[in-house]
Amino acid sequence: MAKHHMEATVNGDPVEFLCETEETLLDVLRDTLHLTGSKEGCASGDCGACSVLLDGRLVCSCLVLGCEVGGRSIETIEGMAKGESLHPLQEQFLKSAALQCGICTPGVLVASKALLERSPNPTETEVRYWLAGNLCRCTGYDKIVSAVMDAAAVMRKG
Amino acid sequence: MRYEAPDSLEGAVALLAGARGDARVLAGGTDLLVQMRADILEPELIVDIKRIPETRTVTEERGGWRIGAAVTGAELTEHPRLKQVWPGVIEAANLIGSTQVQGRATMGGNLCNGSPAADSVPALVAAGALASLVGPRGRRDLPVEDVMLGPRRLALEKGEIVASFLLPPRPPRSSDAYLRFIPRTEMDIAVVGAGVSLTVDGAGIVTAARVALGAVAPRVLLVPEAARAIVGSRLDAEAQRRLEAAARAACQPIDDKRGTTEFRIQVAGVLARRAALIALDRARSN
């Protein structure tokens, strides 16, 4: 069976790639497009380390097939900083040391950005529920949650 | 492995009916892709139904609502009106997985995955929802409680797919609720689930009810005895006691590390009662 020839948009740039049916969007991002910021933690949709936005919707890229994304827009962690300037969430995660090993961090950041875009002033409960699908096995979640709350405050001030 | 994404139900049915090996429908993929990855399933053909308009839309129809089988949990939650009319169905669908999973998971997939613990199914059964099936012999509507026969076993014929669900028109002062027990607050599979839909009259007397239980039998159960226990009552203490007893009497649960038989039976009664009280409260304010 021939590979699927796909065209999509990744972080605003048009991309073309070939993939097998069984390759996930995460496989395509990491192995074909060499965007290795999205991580493979569980490959079963439990850990959120591979979180991306698909047409603006937060999803686990390990639960999307590469051949499903033709014509669609994908945003990954690599698109979060604009050139040299970090996103306020990234700034705040550094400032608050809201990470240790860093494997969960790209997914947490992508998920948090999606939250703040729809809810610029979330409660702590809202943040914790929204991020329930992003597992961190190092830090516990307090620093992550407070970094998201702090970044939200920074972003509200513009 | 072949992947097809037809844009019509007829196209999807022809592909599935003509498949030589195992063929699977792909909606949100939150169960299918996990099972493929774990080598539980190795389909020869995957038919993605998300380009078929009926599977992806929510429309008012005959005074009720038709919900596409591949509409995601997130889309259901964001719908401007469904949550007012069917809060129990929406809260049940919303309990499936994380934010990320909600972005993909669908009620059609939840039903067709064939798990007795599927959260959206008891709510759909309590709602009196019909599954609109399309197959080689045309379209037929089946009550949701009749779609699943047992764990991983469905009443669908070869080539047949769930295209949409039809929720019936709602009389005034009607509402529904879904509750599940899990040992944590989020991200788990129901140990017991209970869906209740009911209608009350102007005096607050229950005139119609449907009670459904999940994870307490090989398939999701509609429990008419539990509904009869509260119809004609104001859901007073005595009616609540009858409801609990009827719900418990219907249970035939497994005994496993997530819940013993005794525990599941006990909790089924408690959740049925609490869900009924929430539905009653919502119905009164409708």
pLDDT of residue B133: 98
Checking if the pLDDT of B51 tops 90, the result is: yes
pLDDT category of residue A139 using cuts at 50, 70 and 90: confident
Kindly report whether the global pTM for this prediction surpasses the value 0.90.
yes
Instruction: Tell me: do A96 and A131 sit in the same domain.
Output: yes
Instruction: Tell me: do A124 and A150 sit in the same domain.
Output: yes
Cβ pair B2:A51 closer than 8 A: no
pLDDT of residue A1: 65
Pairing of strands B45-48, B23-26: parallel
pLDDT category of residue B185 using cuts at 50, 70 and 90: confident
Residue of A nearest to B34 (CA): A44
User: Which has more pLDDT, A158 or B244?
Assistant: B244
- Chain B hits for A64, Cβ within 8 Å: 29, 33, 104
pLDDT of residue B71: 98
Instruction: Tell me: do A52 and A103 sit in the same domain.
Output: no
B7 Cα to chain A: minimum distance (Å)? 13
- Cβ-Cβ contacts under 8 Å between A and B: the total is 82
Tally the residues of chain B: 286
pLDDT category of residue A140 using cuts at 50, 70 and 90: confident
pLDDT of residue B186: 79
Instruction: Tell me: do A99 and A59 sit in the same domain.
Output: no
Tokens linked to B167 = 């929720």
pLDDT category of residue B239 using cuts at 50, 70 and 90: very high
Q: Are the CB atoms for B201 and B286 separated by under 8 Å?
A: no
Instruction: Tell me: do A72 and A101 sit in the same domain.
Output: no
Checking if the pLDDT of A27 tops 70, the result is: yes
pLDDT category of residue A151 using cuts at 50, 70 and 90: very high
- Average pLDDT of every residue of chain B: 97
If one counts the domains in chain A, the total is 2
**B2-167 fold:** 3.30.465
Among B37, B48, B100, select the one facing A48 at the smallest CB separation: B100
Instruction: Tell me: do A66 and A118 sit in the same domain.
Output: no
pLDDT category of residue B187 using cuts at 50, 70 and 90: confident
pLDDT category of residue B251 using cuts at 50, 70 and 90: very high
Instruction: Tell me: do A69 and A16 sit in the same domain.
Output: yes
Structural domain span for residue A107: 88-157
Task: State the number of CA atoms in the 13 A half-sphere of B273 facing the CB.
Answer: 18
**Domain ranges for chain B:** 2-167, 174-284
Cβ pair A65:B38 closer than 8 A: no
- Average pLDDT of every residue of chain A: 97
At B88-122, the pLDDT tens digits run 999 999 999 999 999 999 999 999 999 999 999 99
Among A1, A130, A134, select the one facing B2 at the smallest CB separation: A1
Among B1, B34, B100, select the one facing A51 at the smallest CB separation: B100
pLDDT of residue A118: 95
Q: In the CATH scheme, what architecture does the domain B174-284 have?
A: 2-Layer Sandwich (3.30)
Checking if the pLDDT of A49 tops 90, the result is: yes
Instruction: Tell me: do A11 and A39 sit in the same domain.
Output: yes
Single out the residue in A32, A56, A79 at which a domain terminates: A79
Instruction: Tell me: do A72 and A109 sit in the same domain.
Output: no
Instruction: Tell me: do A105 and A136 sit in the same domain.
Output: yes
Instruction: Tell me: do A74 and A95 sit in the same domain.
Output: no
